[in-house]
Amino acid sequence: MIYAILRRFGQMLFVMFGISVIVFLIFFATPGADPAARIAGRNASPEVLEAVRHSFGFDQPLYVQYVKMMEKIFVTGDLTSFVNRGWKVVPAVMDSIPVTLSLVFGAAILWVVVSIVIGVVAAATRDSWLDKLLMALGLLGISMPVYWLGEVMNLITQSRYHDSWAFSWVPPLGYKNFSDDPKGWFLTLVIPWITLAILYIGIYGRVLRAAIIESMQEDYIRTARAKGLSETRILLRHALRTSLIAFVTLFGLDFGALVGGSALLTEVVFGLHGIGKLTYDALQNLDLPMIMATVMYASMFVVIANAVVDFIYILLDPRLRTS
C-alpha cells in the first residue's frame, strides 16, 4: 500500500512539473510576438518593457527564465501586475481562494445528494414516465452552458420574480465573508450552488442509474431476493452501495474539472470575486502575470485534489493496493 501511495505521489509531482513547464512555454516561448510586450500589456512604454525583460530574465536562457518564473509565483510571491501597476498578484490569488472553495464545496454537496436521489428514483421506476422525465431533464442539464444558466437564474431571481414571495430572500449579487455574516454568506451562495450543481446532477444521475440497473442483474441481488429482503432494502443496501464505486471515481475527476472550469464561469456571472472572477478581469485587461498565477494555482489545486481522491481510494479499496 505504501508503494501504491508513493507511486501515485510521484505521478502527481511529475504532472505538476509538466503543467508548470507547459504554462511557462505558453507564456514565454509562443512564437509570434515578444513575450515582454505581452506581459507588459497594451501600450507599454519602453521603460516598462525594459523592466519586464530584466525582471523575467528574458536575456537569459530558457531554463533560467523558468526558474525565475516559478520563484516569483511559488517562493517569493512577488509577481506583480504591469497593467495595475505594482499590484502583487499572489496575495490577490490567495484572498480569492476561500470564495472559490465556498462555491465549489457547496455545489458538490448539493450535486452528490440530489444526483443520488435522482439516480435511485430513476432506477427504481425504470422505464416509467418518471424515469424518462428525470433522464431527459438530466440531459438538458448537461447541455446548457453554465454561464447562460446563471444568467437565466439572475433574470428570474434578481429581476423578473425578485419581488414575488419565492425569491424576495435572494440578496443582490456579490459575496459575503463567512466570518462576518454567515447567513449572508449562505444566502448569496444558494443560487450559484444550484446553478453549478444542475450541470453535474444531470451526468451523475444518469451514471448512477445505469450502474444501479447493471448491478441489479448480479447474483448477490438474486440471493438477497431469495432471502426475502424487501425491494427497497435490496435497492438501497445492496445495489446502491456497489454502484457508488463508479460514482466516486467520476466525482474525483469532475471535482477537479469543476474548480478549473465551470466554477470560473459561474463566479463571473454571479459576481463572486473568486479565482474565476480574478481570471476574467485579468483577461479583460490582458493582465498576463495575473493569469499566469491563477492558471498555475488553480491547476496545481486540481492535480492535488485528484491525487487526494486517489489516495483515499487506495485506502478504501484493497484491490488497488497491489496493482
CA quadruple 30, 31, 37, 42: dihedral sign = negative
Measured from the CB atom, is 125 or 249 closer to another protein? 249
Is 272 a binding residue for another protein by CB under 8 A? The answer is: no
The contact mask relative to another protein for 37-76 (x = CB under 8 A, - = no) is: xx---x----------------------------------
Is 266 a binding residue for another protein by CB under 8 A? The answer is: no
Q: How far is the CB of 44 from another protein (least distance, A)?
A: 12
Residue 130 grid cell? 418518471
Bridge partners of 80, per DSSP, are: 88
The contact mask relative to another protein for 123-142 (x = CB under 8 A, - = no) is: ----------------xx-x
| 1-40 b/e (C-beta count within 10 Å ≥ 16 → b) | eeebeeebeeebeebbeebbeebbeebbeeeeeebbebbb
Contacting residue, 60, 128, 159, 177, with another protein by CB under 8 A: 159
Contacting residue, 6, 9, 30, 237, with another protein by CB under 8 A: 30
Residues 177-196 binding another protein (CB under 8 A) are: none
The CA radius of gyration of the chain, in Å to the nearest whole number, is 24
The contact mask relative to another protein for 279-308 (x = CB under 8 A, - = no) is: xx--xx-x-x--x---x--xx--xx--x--
Contacting residue, 51, 114, 121, 151, with another protein by CB under 8 A: 151
Q: In 3-state terms, what secondary structure has residue 183?
A: helix
Is 232 a binding residue for another protein by CB under 8 A? The answer is: no
Q: How far is the CB of 233 from another protein (least distance, A)?
A: 30
Residue 225 grid cell? 431476493
Q: Which residues contact residue 302 at a Cβ distance below 8 angstroms, ignoring those fewer than 6 apart?
A: 256, 257, 259, 260
Q: How far is the CB of 62 from another protein (least distance, A)?
A: 16
- Give, in order, the Cα–Cα distances in Å from 54 to each of 26, 173, 195, 254: 19, 41, 45, 40
Neighbour count for residue 112 (Cβ, 10 Å): 19
* E strand segments, 69-205: none
Give the separation between CA 190 and CA 192, rounded to whole angstroms.
6
Region near another protein per CB under 8 A, out of 86-94, 105-113, 176-184, 256-264: 256-264
Give the separation between CA 62 and CA 73, rounded to whole angstroms.
17
Region near another protein per CB under 8 A, out of 1-9, 68-76, 149-157, 178-186: 149-157
Neighbour count for residue 179 (Cβ, 10 Å): 8
Is 268 a binding residue for another protein by CB under 8 A? The answer is: yes
- Residue numbers of the site for another protein (CB under 8 A)? 14-15, 18-19, 22-23, 26-27, 30-33, 35, 37-38, 42, 139-140, 142-149, 151-152, 154-155, 158-159, 199, 203, 250, 253-254, 256-262, 264-265, 268, 279-280, 283-284, 286, 288, 291, 295, 298-299, 302-303, 306
